[in-house]
Structure 1
Amino acid sequence: MGWSSLLGLGGPWQILAAVADVLLVSYVIYRVLLLIKGTTAVPMLVGLGMITIGFFASKWAGLQTFHWLVSQFLSYSFIFGIIVLFQNDIRRGLARLGQGWSLGYDRAGEASRIEEVVQAAVKLAQRRHGALIVMERTAELDDLAQTGVRVDAEVSDELLLSIFQPGTPLHDGAVVISRGRIAAAKCMLPLTANPTVGRDLGTRHRSAIGLTEEVDAAVLVVSEERGKLSLAVGGKLHRDMDADVLRKFLLRLYAAPRRGTLPPRPRKAAA
């Protein structure tokens, strides 16, 4: 029973109810897309969409056996599959709901934070101290931060240098920068399983690639052996970047209107 029936009215009320219904559904879909943006849930949803298309296509084409198989999968496994596959995203979404709908943070100091990270990376490279610095983009990194030691401090090159000082308790693993702050240290990153990745790359570079294959983040790698800087984004590793190139790349990466897109790598200025 619609609002127009309850109110005993028709005409304009029916139109307003229909418009409100469409807007509400659109808003819910928009919030869900924001929730899964930059996570592994996106390719999973694409896979589920393809199965759904197969369901209707097989019915239209008269493929009875295939249609029955797909319908059984959708009937008995869909809800449980959603819960299992997206349990982390569901948990994160419920936590967001309890904290309110505001998901962003003040980005006014983004350039200064990037400068602190670049300065720390340059000093670490000069000292040949290995480091992994994960910087949040469109995907939240709360689950990753939980694998390490909570820090919750402002981003500064002094703190980053202290964390990655060899022999200190937090130097092994990655630092996670989330919501403009150093959220955690000593975090563990997944290694890439891509067979095309060069064999000359060490564990730090492989883990940086592995994380950016799964979530939308940028991972800065400081090589202990070579004293070089590399940046992993979108499952790709940009190697041997100097401070100026790294700074410009990060500024473009985080200042872009659509942060899910990857800007072209800035070229070194001609000597």
Structure 2
Amino acid sequence: MDAVLGWLQINVLSWLKPPKTIQVIDIVQIALIAWLVYRMILWMKNTRAYTLLRGILFILAFVVLANLLNMEVIVWLMGNLSVVAFTAVVIIFQPELRKALEQMGHSNFVNSLMAINRSPEENKRFSDHTVSELVRACFEMSEVKTGALIVLERETHLYEYENTGIPLDAVVSSQLLVNIFEHNTPLHDGAVIIRENRIAAATCYLPLSDNMDLSKKLGTRHRAGVGISEQSDCFVLIVSEETGAVSYAQSGRLHAAVSPSELRRALQEAQKIYDDSARILKKGRKRNGI
């Protein structure tokens, strides 16, 4: 017990001693660290990294216990394996790390700074006409229970998935989308990828989600829609072939059985390149004569 208390006093209590003077830079550092920890917790909560993290924490706790009990051989082995373990962690978490870095690059703050001097039309990924055509096509197919899977590309390029399909490069229209997903037609199987106001490709293959929280009643089409939304920042439209329900997936979340007004509102939000913070900042600059 004396050894444990001595170790805690040296390694833990010494860290808790407050500095003699607190400066502004110290407050800034604390705020940045708190924000980074908060973002990391949110990131881990929404990915499978949380399960893997618990295993890593168990190993770290075992190393601390071995150090307290003076298990020199185990401590020596763990110390020499630390570099290999770090490399293994990077490899294991590669998809999650990539997604986290992409989310940082696509954050509202970054996009707002880049989009301040753009016109309202330039700050749209696709036009209002495209939104109307997509809503019309989805609910026309819903009435006759025609299954559909439509992916709208946003900041993250989807070329690797586009290359798995047949290139079209056609203007988005409800009639064309309905014809593409018509039963027993050459292009009906797979997903359609839309870039800006054009259909880039059809019959594209998408990754399936491994989210165990999704309902077992959902088929491959819904799992593929959620899967591609986990891998990128795209917006996915899904029409169920069994029920005719229209759903959409975004950021790994499935919004099931939405109404036309709900779908239009969600598409209009996805249509924006930046959020209202850029518009507010732009108004402030005009008010100050900048």
TM-score range, shorter chain: 0.5 to 0.7
Match of 2:170 among 130, 141, 153: 153
2:270 paired with 1:253: yes
Structure 2 CA distance, aligned partners of 1:126 and 1:198? 23
Higher relative contact order (CA 8 A, sep 6+): 2
Aligned residues of 2:135 and 2:264 also touching (Cα < 8 A): yes
Provide TM-score, normalisation by structure 1.
Answer: 0.59
Matched with 2:33 is none
CA–CA distance in 2 between the matches of 1:236 and 1:147?
24
The equivalent residue for 2:160 is 143
RMSD: 3.7
Following superposition of structure 1 onto structure 2, how do residues 42-121 of structure 1 map, counting pairs within 5 Å? Answer: 65-72=77-84, 109-121=126-138
What is the identity, as a one-letter code, of the residue corresponding to 2:140? K
Q: Percent identity?
A: 36
- Aligned partner of 1:227 in structure 2 is 244
SS of equivalent to 1:114: helix
Larger Rg: 2
> Could you tell me which amino acid in structure 2 is paired with residue 156 of structure 1?
S
C-alpha distance 231-78 of structure 1, shift in aligned 2 (>3 A)? closer
Change in 2 beyond 3 A, CA 1:215/1:188: same
4+ long deviations beyond 4 Å: 72-75, 104-109
Deviation at 1:154, TM superposition (A): 1.4
TM-aligned CA deviation for residue 206 of structure 1: 1.4
User: How many pairs are equivalent?
Assistant: 190
C-alpha distance in 2 between matches for 1:155 and 1:254: 15
- 2:37 — aligned with what? none
Q: 2:213 aligns with which of 192, 196, 217?
A: 196
Residues 141 and 178, structure 1, Cα contact 8 Å, conserved in 2: no
Contact kept? 1:118, 1:247, Cα under 8 Å: yes
| Structure 2: distance between partners of 1:73 and 1:248 | 46
Give yes or no for contact 2:137–2:175 (8 Å, CA) kept in 1.
Answer: yes
What TM-score results when the alignment is normalised by the length of structure 2?
Answer: 0.56
Q: 2:226 aligns with which of 197, 205, 209?
A: 209
Structure 1: runs of 5+ lacking an equivalent: 1-41, 52-57, 90-103, 260-271
Mapped to 1, the partners of 2:84 and 2:214 lie a distance apart of: 39
